[in-house]
Copies of this chain bind each other. A is one copy, B any other.
């Protein structure tokens, strides 16, 4: 019996579904994560290109859109244990060029920028309150890395009882093994897996929220 059979036999891997009020959450697509000499590489550039299509669709449908960035204080006073495990994180401050959202996905006014210091987009941020304010019931997640900040954000999205959709080709990672392994875990236990095209198709069928 292989791994997938075990999960199936034990009742995992069901579809949780797509609700009526989706929002798009774009995790950490900043310059630093799109440069293989910094924290990027792997399939991250492709994921950015795919996310661009999804972002255009979300804007056309006037969905709530949020972006995350990792931002530490200039003096490093809020860099903690995460910065011990991963050297160089402390360079991700507000104004440095490498820490701006990639130009392909530049936010427009009214889109929400979440500044965070930890993997999850929800940890120590206003994201949850913003989702509640916007009466969201479904969180569509793209971004990077699949095995890092995407995975952590997806766990918290599901734990807060949002229907959660991971865009399989809108998330990327510096290495493909962890990318695949984390898609498996998320699909079995936390989120539905859909391609960007499938998500665009699903959004196109939706009525505008009342």
Contacts and interface: CB of A to CB of B under 8 A. Distances in A.
Interface string A36-70: 00110110000000000000000000000000000
A117 B129 contact: yes
A80 to B, nearest CB: 4
B80 A129 contact: yes
Chain A contact-residue range equals 35 or more
Contacts of A147: 185
A184 interface: yes
A85 interface: yes
Most B CB atoms within 10 A — which of A11, A73, A77, A133? A77
A152 interface: yes
11 contacts: A14-B86, A73-B112, A81-B133, A82-B189, A82-B190, A85-B188, A85-B189, A124-B124, A124-B159, A129-B161, A181-B182
B162 A88 contact: no
Contacts of A210: 210
A175 to B, nearest CB: 4
Contact of A160 (B16, B128, B178, B188): B128
B155 A119 contact: yes
